[in-house]
Structure formats: C-alpha cells, structure tokens
Amino acid sequence: MPGAQPDRGADGQAAADLDRADEPSAPSGQGAGDDATPDADDNASSGAHDGDDLVVHFLDVGQADATLLVQGETTVLIDTGRYQADDVVEALTSLGIETIELLIVTHPHADHIGQFDQLVDAVTITETWWSGATTTSLTFGRALDALERSGAAYEEPRAGDAAQVGQLLIEVVNPPVGIELTDLHDSGLAVRVTYGSFRVLFTGDAEAPTERRMVASDPALLEAEVLQVGHHGSRSSTVPEFLAAVSPAVAVYSAGADNAYDHPHPEVLERLQAADVEVYGTDTHGTVAITTDGHNWSVHTGW
Ligand SMILES: [Zn+2]
Ligand SMILES: [Zn+2]
C-alpha cells in the first residue's frame, strides 16, 4: 500500500487505515528439523552452495542490527544498521543485490533504521514492514522521507499475519493486534523465517515482558533452529522460558566490539551455554552466515 505511512507526530499513533498484511498462511512447522543438526564450519572454502540455498547473513555492522537473507532471486533484509555508517549498503552492493523484496524494520531506533534512507537510494525496495511506532529523532525523520520517495508497499503487520516471499515463509510473532505503540521495544516486529524445515527467529530488541507475552501467546510459533539473540545480547532479554520455547541449536548476537552497553551480557551467554546453544557474535566472528538447503544447515564465519 504505497502512500500509507506512519504519522510524523510524536503521539505514538500511526496511521490507522492500513490494510492488514496478507492472509496468514498455514503454518508449515510439523516437527521438522529433528535431524537437521548444525554443522559448524569455519572454513569458508567448504561453504560452496548452489542457487537454491538460503544464506542468512548476520552482517557485522558494529553496535546495530542488519540481517540479510538471500534465496535464489529473493532478498529479505531485517533492519538496516546504524546511522552515520554505510556498511549495510556496502554489503548489499558487494553481493550485487539490486532489489529487496521485503525490508523489515523491527523498530525505529537509530541502530535498526539507521541506513534505511541510503538503502532507498541504492536499491529497489518492493515492500517494507514497520511496527508503526514513531520517534522524533532526525534519523527517523530521514527514514520517513526516504519511505515517501521509495514507492515501496508499506505494511504494519501483527502477530498471526504471515507472508510468502519467494520460497520463504515469514510469520509475524510480535506485536499483537491492538498493541500500544508507546514502547518501541515492546511494540517491535518479531518474525520467524522458514525455508523448508529450517527456521530462524528475529525479535529485534524485545525485552523480557515481551518475550514472556510471546511464550504465553503461541510458543510453537517461536520454535527455531537459529535464534538471533534479542537486544544485542542485553541482560534485558533472552529469559529462560523464552529460550526454552525457541529451543535453538545456534544463537547469533549482533554487537559492536568493546561497546558501551555491556552487550552481550555474561548472564545471557551463561544462559545460552547452559541450554547447550552454540553462540556466535558479530563482535568476535565478524559477519556470521548460515547456509541451508532447507534441511541441512551450517554456520560459516570469516566471510
Ligand atoms: Zn532498540
Ligand atoms: Zn538495538
């Protein structure tokens, strides 16, 4: 729906006349993935894959989030890195990507929406999903200006919505219908991406109360082989009951080396280790890539 965009006002209310996202698809989770064990492989030379593979790139963008999913001709980007940087644009350019079928902005903080404006000028964005929450920051203002000139279809999906993008199933886990948009993290978009039997969960900067609400709402919708650790590994997030519901084999956090926020927090790393989750971080591993044919999957670093 081009033209339907968040209000610029600071009252936290977004435009109310948007269509909902596409009708929910039937969930594809049928106990899949039991034998799809991770095959940690730091040797990039063995990471050859054919064009049908999905590659999930947790981009090394410092203290920020940007995850690029490429499968065949389909490109999905979740968050756009930090402002005053161009590393996300550079990564897409180096991969020869000219179109993003779906760009999901989890919430309008500057470390998630930072390069939205540059992306609009660098590539074609077919559709973009935002939470609908607003801020008064200059970065958000620039992003809104860019949204207006992008021509991208705009949606504010809610939990229970789903869309098929190429061969990727995108299921919305948060926020629930009727959410107040006052708390940018609580109202942020969380999505699960499924390719074959492989699932990866993104919760943006969702914190403990939001995680608990997701668990109470539909824990099966959280199950995933790979979890992007919430809020850059902050101790505000990844509560044990949430981790138990997701039950990932691998977790990846995005954080800058020597950042000022104590991300990732040692408590969170201990929780992940106690749950036998293999942990990767962009601060220590650089860009982390996960390659999957929809069944088997492997982790690659050093790309
Ligand atoms: Zn945030
Ligand atoms: Zn953040």
C-alpha span between 244 and 222 (Å, rounded): 10
Give the mean model confidence (pLDDT) for residues 69-90: 97
Question: Which residues, 6 or more positions from 17, have their beta carbon under 8 angstroms from its beta carbon?
Answer: 4
Q: How far is ligand 1, taken at its centre, from the CA of residue 237, in Å? A: 12
The ligand that comes nearest to the alpha carbon of residue 255 is 2
pLDDT band at 4 (very low <50, low <70, confident <90, very high): low
Structural domain includes residue 3: no
Q: Which residues surround ligand 2, an ion (CB under 5 A)?
A: 111, 205
Give the tens place of pLDDT for each residue, 197-225: 999 999 999 999 999 999 999 999 999 99
189 domain-assigned: yes
Q: In angstroms, what is the span from residue 177 Cα to ligand 1's centroid?
A: 20
Nearest by Cα to 14 from 131, 115, 117: 131
Distance 107 CA to ligand 1 centre (A): 7
281 is written with which tokens?
């971080």
Report, as an integer, the average pLDDT of 280-288.
97
35 alpha carbon to ligand 1 midpoint, in Å?
Answer: 35
Token pair of 185, please?
């993290």
- Domain contains 287: yes
User: Per-residue pLDDT tens for 223-266?
Assistant: 999 999 999 999 999 999 999 999 999 999 999 998 989 899 99
pLDDT score recorded for residue 278: 98
pLDDT at 19 over 50: no
CA 254 – ligand 1 centroid, Å: 12
Span from the CA of 295 to the centroid of ligand 2 (angstroms): 30
Torsion angle defined by CA atoms of residues 7, 201, 196 and 286, in that order, rounded to the nearest 10 degrees: 100
* Residue 196 belongs to domain spanning: 54-300
Distance 210 CA to ligand 2 centre (A): 15
DSSP lists the bridge partners of residue 56 as 69, 290
Indicate the helix (H) or strand (E) that contains 169: strand 168-174
Give the pTM. 0.86
Q: What is the CATH classification number for the domain harbouring 285?
A: 3.60.15.10
Comparison of pLDDT for 15 and 86, the residue scoring more: 86
Q: Ligand 2 centroid vs 109 CA: distance in angstroms?
A: 7
Mean pLDDT over 277-294 rounds to 98
The tally of CA atoms less than 13 A away on the side-chain side of residue 204 is 31
Q: Tell me which ligand sits closest to the C-alpha of residue 231.
A: 2
The verdict on residue 40 lying in a domain is no
pLDDT at site 302: 83
Partner residues linked to 57 by β-bridges: 68, 289
| Confidence (pLDDT) at 262 | 84
User: Is 48 a domain residue?
Assistant: no
| Helix/strand/coil percentages in the chain, nearest 5 | 25, 25, 55
In a domain, 263, yes or no: yes
Residue 42 lies in a domain: no
Please give the distance, rounded to the nearest whole angstrom, from the Cα atom of residue 185 to the centre of ligand 1.
6
Q: Which residues of 20-42 are buried (b: 16+ CB within 10 A; e: fewer)?
A: ebeeeeeeebeebbeebebeeee
Instruction: Return left, alpha or beta for 51; rule: phi > 0 is left, psi -120 to 50 is alpha, else beta.
Output: alpha
Please check whether residue 59 is in contact with residue 91, taking contact to mean a CB–CB distance below 8 angstroms. Answer: yes
In this structure, is residue 216 part of a structural domain? yes
Cα of 205 to ligand 2 centre, how many Å? 5
For the chain, what is the largest distance between any 2 Cα atoms, rounded to a whole number of angstroms? 52
Assess contact for 279 and 272: CB atoms under 8 A.
yes
**Does residue 49 surpass a pLDDT of 90?**
no
The band of 24, judged by pLDDT with boundaries at 50, 70 and 90, is very low
Query: pLDDT of 176-188, one tens digit each?
Result: 999 999 999 999 9
Q: Of 17-26, 110-119, 121-130, 143-152, give the lowest mean pLDDT range.
A: 17-26
**Measured in Å, how far apart are the chain's first and last C-alpha atoms?**
37
What pLDDT score does 146 carry?
98
CA dist., res. 172 & res. 162, Å (int): 6
Nearest ligand to residue 64 Cα: 2
Domain count, the chain: 1
pLDDT band at 36 (very low <50, low <70, confident <90, very high): very low
